[in-house]
Structure 1
């Protein structure tokens, strides 16, 4: 009896032990599943939050770069009028109404500057434009006090760069100077509307005239931050639901950019909806978490799979942001940032490796938008990009730096004959009929200015300025043609002789 009792007792003990271990195993398995689920939730939260923050930082950086480019562009457009001996003669020294109406008014017709002011050294506003209407007036700057801070900045820069010469004063060369070193930039409120403003003095370019003593005459122009401005700046960014609001308060970490006027008073904020938010991670993470209760094997596989997919998503987002930062979203060409980088690297290789800067501007492109709409204009830009890329090939970089403005850095062809042939190929290609989305066709043209490195400069600013000047000459003298920057003095002399002799003028291409 004792032996049987002992056997049963010994049989019962292992049963209790196995049951206890089983419960511990289930408990440990449950604990592991719970810990793994919480860990995955935490990883998902951190990853989505980090992805949100990085995407928004990249978008803000891209927006700031684009806005800075627009500031520089408004000054470059002003330079065509403000840095000119004829402007000094007909505005500063002898105020010519017709000259002012024609050339100051061109800032609207050519570049869509909504408002332009000419402000004399005694704070008298001599003229102002309202889009396509130029009003000759004489009223004191005190009537428009919001302009006084930026006018004061422009005068301070003038005093810094003014040079005394025999017979009066001149101005130092703009080559090598950053835009902010000779022009005042910022935001102000004009007519109750926030506006991007540039202001610079009227100064000579060829040293044939002298500036008088005293404060300068300031050319100030503005682009309102309206729907047209937002559409223009967003044509490069393609942000979702971009808008400008008067409110200066933004949610912490939200996509946006706040602006203040020159006196540091708040004006409002640019807002948009981020396209790269990581909220879509959660609908895929939750099913994986539910699968953790099935088995530890599924749990391990699910964690590894999700982490791998999450990493791929972050890498894809980073690649997309890098691509957007260096490419124009409409045409797929290099944007201004990539162009500036390639230009800087090309300059560093001088004089061992020469190159050319080819500045191209479409002729009659505005008529396409006005006649067929912006969708047609976008189609034309894409076709132009394809034709330019095909013509240039792998030997150069084609970049879109404005609405209808393209710049090429050409390394494989640097002789004048080859560049002339390339320019003629580009002009011929672009002049061919452009297909439109509705089956119609349209025709545009192309004007080209070419600067050779190191002949026209050994720094990017000088080369771009030289190409700009050649392009401007091409546009002003017939369009649909190319001009070398090195030919400008000869061309201008030939034009002057032609005018003196009463004959006509045909510029050489």
Structure 2
């Protein structure tokens, strides 16, 4: 069973392959674990940074709304802005200076009950209200949202209405806000109803609205980046975000959506940088260990395989000459007879003449040299016509397959005898031997392997007793008689 497996599979190569697969599996599993760990770390980092960005976005909007509510949620503002003629000094100093000088809010506009701009401020100075028409028109959606929030929150106070609670930090604030672009600048637009804080009230109907725009500059973005530990934080139109940047939608219009963008830190890079050298060292050590083990077992397996191959060869071959032995010859003949693969075949039994004298004169080493030389001559003469086997001592047996007639076989026997009779040269000198051959045919002379070999052996005996150096057939005629018959 083991021999058959060895024939089908090279064990040494198998050990190398299995070792390589184990090493590759170990490497792949570790790299896969690192990859998964890196992805998880990146996702956790992204979630953490996104949470910080969301909080910062809310904080920036609340700060802008809080700045605005200092005016919009104030009894004095209600008294002035709901009057027929607001005091210019109030507009200039209480509103203009507060928004621009103190908080760098460049745009501010008061919208009357009919939704039209009533007061327009730019960088602290009052301009014609009509200058704010475009500003008001482009933020109409936020105005309507803030107005709806006012109506939802208002309550009766005296002869009018007011709101109660904090307009910015209550669960439902009064303001509406969004990130927008105004005159090419990114910023926060905030809209709130102008309502009293403590004592006054406003009449029924639409409230007046305060609209402001707080621009956001690169200096602010840099400060936020440093504060949050982010890289390249910025709020900008989504379409202008740099390639590869992480984006978080924060508002804007359908035409110009706005996103917070930044470069997310990649913990996986740190993991790979720090862990990979260690992993490669471990991997190298394991690979070296497996390599040495594979080499050792590979050599052992190779030796076992070579030994098995040698044993298989010796089981069916003669150790001295390398020719097939009697076992292989019998198997081949049995197969021919059992399967009926040939209509006819010849069996030649050959025995060397005067071989004992070589052993007695020159020794067994010289005798072995003669046997090896004769075996090679026989194999060369037979070629692909059949099989030549050594069956012991100076005895050989030959199987000639179908395709040769009796005359051709007898001529081949003469060639064999002539070839064997040539002198054999070895270290101590030279020697000459002869050969006698007995020929039998299957199925003409016998029907079984055993009996046809016996017939050939009997013919060999007649050849030797009739003078040696000749071939006889089982028909009991020497070669020369058969030729003249």
Tell me the equivalent position of 2:51: 61
Deviation of 1:244 after TM superposition, in Å, equals 4.0
| Root mean square deviation of aligned Cα | 3.4
Counterparts of 2:289 and 2:136, CA distance in 1: 70
TM-score (norm 1): 0.49
What is the correspondence of 1:321-360 to structure 2 with a 5 Å cutoff? none
Note if 1:168 corresponds to 2:131: no
Query: What do the CA deviations read for 1:116-160 (whole angstroms, capped 9, x no partner)?
Result: 111111222122222233335356746742111111111111111
Whether the 8 Å CA contact 2:73–2:167 is kept in 1: the answer is no
Q: Any unmatched runs of 5+ in structure 2?
A: 291-485
Whether the 8 Å CA contact 1:114–1:224 is kept in 2: the answer is yes
* Pairing partner for 1:219 from 179, 189, 210: 210
CA distance 1:153–1:245, shift in 2 (3 Å): closer
Note if 1:233 corresponds to 2:224: yes
Q: Any unmatched runs of 5+ in structure 1?
A: 1-12, 301-509
TM-score (norm 2): 0.51
Tell me the equivalent position of 2:33: 43
Counterparts of 1:136 and 1:98, CA distance in 2: 16
CA distance 1:83–1:194, shift in 2 (3 Å): same
What is the correspondence of 1:445-484 to structure 2 with a 5 Å cutoff? none
Greater C-alpha radius of gyration: 2
Deviation of 1:37 after TM superposition, in Å, equals 0.8
Counterparts of 1:210 and 1:80, CA distance in 2: 17
**SS at 1:61's partner residue?**
helix
Deviation of 1:276 after TM superposition, in Å, equals 3.9
Counterparts of 2:21 and 2:140, CA distance in 1: 70
CA distance 1:193–1:295, shift in 2 (3 Å): closer
Whether the 8 Å CA contact 2:106–2:213 is kept in 1: the answer is yes
Tell me the equivalent position of 2:246: 255
CA distance 1:69–1:118, shift in 2 (3 Å): same
Note if 1:273 corresponds to 2:236: no
Whether the 8 Å CA contact 1:292–1:298 is kept in 2: the answer is no
CA distance 1:113–1:142, shift in 2 (3 Å): closer
CA distance 1:277–1:130, shift in 2 (3 Å): farther
Deviation of 1:298 after TM superposition, in Å, equals 7.8
Counterparts of 1:294 and 1:227, CA distance in 2: 49
Counterparts of 2:12 and 2:20, CA distance in 1: 12
Counterparts of 1:56 and 1:145, CA distance in 2: 38
CA distance 1:86–1:212, shift in 2 (3 Å): same
Tell me the equivalent position of 1:135: 127
Counterparts of 2:41 and 2:243, CA distance in 1: 16
What is the correspondence of 1:68-467 to structure 2 with a 5 Å cutoff? 68-94=58-84, 95-105=86-96, 106-135=98-127, 137-138=129-130, 141=133, 144-174=136-166, 178=170, 180-207=172-199, 209-248=200-239, 254-261=245-252, 263-283=253-273, 286-288=276-278, 290-291=280-281, 294-296=284-286
Counterparts of 1:299 and 1:277, CA distance in 2: 32
Deviation of 1:67 after TM superposition, in Å, equals 0.8
**SS at 1:214's partner residue?**
coil
Whether the 8 Å CA contact 1:170–1:210 is kept in 2: the answer is yes
Deviation of 1:187 after TM superposition, in Å, equals 2.3
Deviation of 1:34 after TM superposition, in Å, equals 1.1
Query: What do the CA deviations read for 1:425-453 (whole angstroms, capped 9, x no partner)?
Result: xxxxxxxxxxxxxxxxxxxxxxxxxxxxx
Whether the 8 Å CA contact 1:59–1:255 is kept in 2: the answer is no
Whether the 8 Å CA contact 2:120–2:129 is kept in 1: the answer is yes
CA distance 1:27–1:188, shift in 2 (3 Å): closer
**SS at 1:279's partner residue?**
helix
Counterparts of 1:297 and 1:153, CA distance in 2: 68
Whether the 8 Å CA contact 1:158–1:182 is kept in 2: the answer is yes
Deviation of 1:86 after TM superposition, in Å, equals 0.8
Deviation of 1:245 after TM superposition, in Å, equals 4.2
**SS at 2:268's partner residue?**
coil
Counterparts of 1:171 and 1:177, CA distance in 2: 14
**Aligned residues between the structures:** 283
Counterparts of 1:249 and 1:138, CA distance in 2: 32
CA distance 1:265–1:200, shift in 2 (3 Å): same
CA distance 1:71–1:182, shift in 2 (3 Å): same
Counterparts of 1:97 and 1:66, CA distance in 2: 36
**SS at 2:196's partner residue?**
coil
Tell me the equivalent position of 2:436: none
Counterparts of 1:247 and 1:160, CA distance in 2: 33
